[in-house]
Structure 1
Amino acid sequence: MSIEVSKTVPDGLRSLVKAVSVLRADDPAAGERPPLVHLPDPDTSLIFRTTSAGRSDLLVIGPRTRASYHVGKDLPFCLRLRLRPGATRPLLGVPVSEVVDRVVPLRELWGASADPLDAALAYAGGDDGLALKHLEAALSARTSADGVRAELVQAAVQALRGRARERREPLPAIARHLAVSERHLRALFADAVGLSPKRYERIERVRQALALARADGPRWADLATATGYYDQSHMTAEFRTLMGVTPAAYFEGRLPALQPC
Structure 2
Amino acid sequence: MADGVRTDIHDSLGGVPGPVELRRRRPPPDLSAFCSGITFYRERFQGVARQLETATLTVPLIVSFGTPFEIGLGRPPGPEDRIRSFVAGPYAGPVHILSRGEAHCLQIDFTPLGARRVFGLPMDELTGRMVLIDDLDDAGVRTLADRLTDTPDWSRRFDIAERFVIERLGLAAPPVPEIAWAFAALDASHGSARIAALSADLGWSRRHFISRFRTEIGMSPKTVARLLRFAHAQRIARSTGTAWADTAAAAGYADQAHLIRDFREFSGLTPQAWLRTQPR
Band the TM-score falls in, shorter-chain normalisation: 0.7 to 0.9
Which among 90, 94, 98 is matched to residue 67 of structure 1?
94
How many angstroms apart in 1 are the aligned matches of 2:48 and 2:20?
Answer: 9
Structure 2 gaps of 5+ residues are: 1-18, 69-82
Residue in structure 2 matched with residue 259 of structure 1 by the alignment = none
How many angstroms apart in 2 are the aligned matches of 1:126 and 1:58?
Answer: 19
Which among 132, 140, 146 is matched to residue 105 of structure 1?
132
TM-score computed with the length of structure 2 as normaliser = 0.74
Residue in structure 2 matched with residue 217 of structure 1 by the alignment = 241
Q: Which amino acid aligns with 2:58?
A: D
Which among 53, 56, 64 is matched to residue 41 of structure 1?
56
Deviations, residues 179-213 of structure 1 (Å, cap 9, x unaligned): 44433321222111110111111122222212211
Would you say the 8 A contact 1:124–1:131 is kept in 2?
no
Q: Which amino acid aligns with 1:71?
A: L
Residue in structure 2 matched with residue 147 of structure 1 by the alignment = 174
Which among 27, 30, 38 is matched to residue 21 of structure 1?
38
1:186 and 2:210 are equivalent in the alignment: yes
How many angstroms apart in 2 are the aligned matches of 1:47 and 1:66?
Answer: 19
Deviations, residues 129-172 of structure 1 (Å, cap 9, x unaligned): 335425624772575544361x43332222122445xx723111
Would you say the 8 A contact 1:153–1:188 is kept in 2?
yes
Would you say the 8 A contact 1:28–1:76 is kept in 2?
no
Q: CA RMSD in A?
A: 3.0
Structure 1 gaps of 5+ residues are: 254-261
How many angstroms apart in 1 are the aligned matches of 2:175 and 2:28?
Answer: 23
- Aligned residue runs from structure 1 range 111-190, under 5 A: 111-133=138-160, 136-137=163-164, 140-141=167-168, 144-147=171-174, 149=176, 151-163=177-189, 168-190=192-214
Would you say the 8 A contact 2:43–2:104 is kept in 1?
no
Q: Which amino acid aligns with 2:61?
A: L
How many angstroms apart in 1 are the aligned matches of 2:239 and 2:38?
Answer: 21
Moved more, 132-141 or 92-101: 132-141
Between Structure 1 and Structure 2, how many residues are aligned?
245
Once the two structures are TM-superposed, the CA of residue 72 in structure 1 deviates from its matched residue by 4.0
How many angstroms apart in 2 are the aligned matches of 1:238 and 1:16?
Answer: 25
Which among 243, 252, 260 is matched to residue 228 of structure 1?
252
Q: Which amino acid aligns with 2:184?
A: Q
Q: 1:127 to 1:190 in 2, by over 3 A?
A: same
Once the two structures are TM-superposed, the CA of residue 91 in structure 1 deviates from its matched residue by 2.3
Once the two structures are TM-superposed, the CA of residue 33 in structure 1 deviates from its matched residue by 5.1
Question: Percent identical across equivalent pairs?
Answer: 23
What's the secondary structure of 1:121's corresponding residue?
helix
Q: Which amino acid aligns with 2:51?
A: L
How many angstroms apart in 1 are the aligned matches of 2:147 and 2:89?
Answer: 23
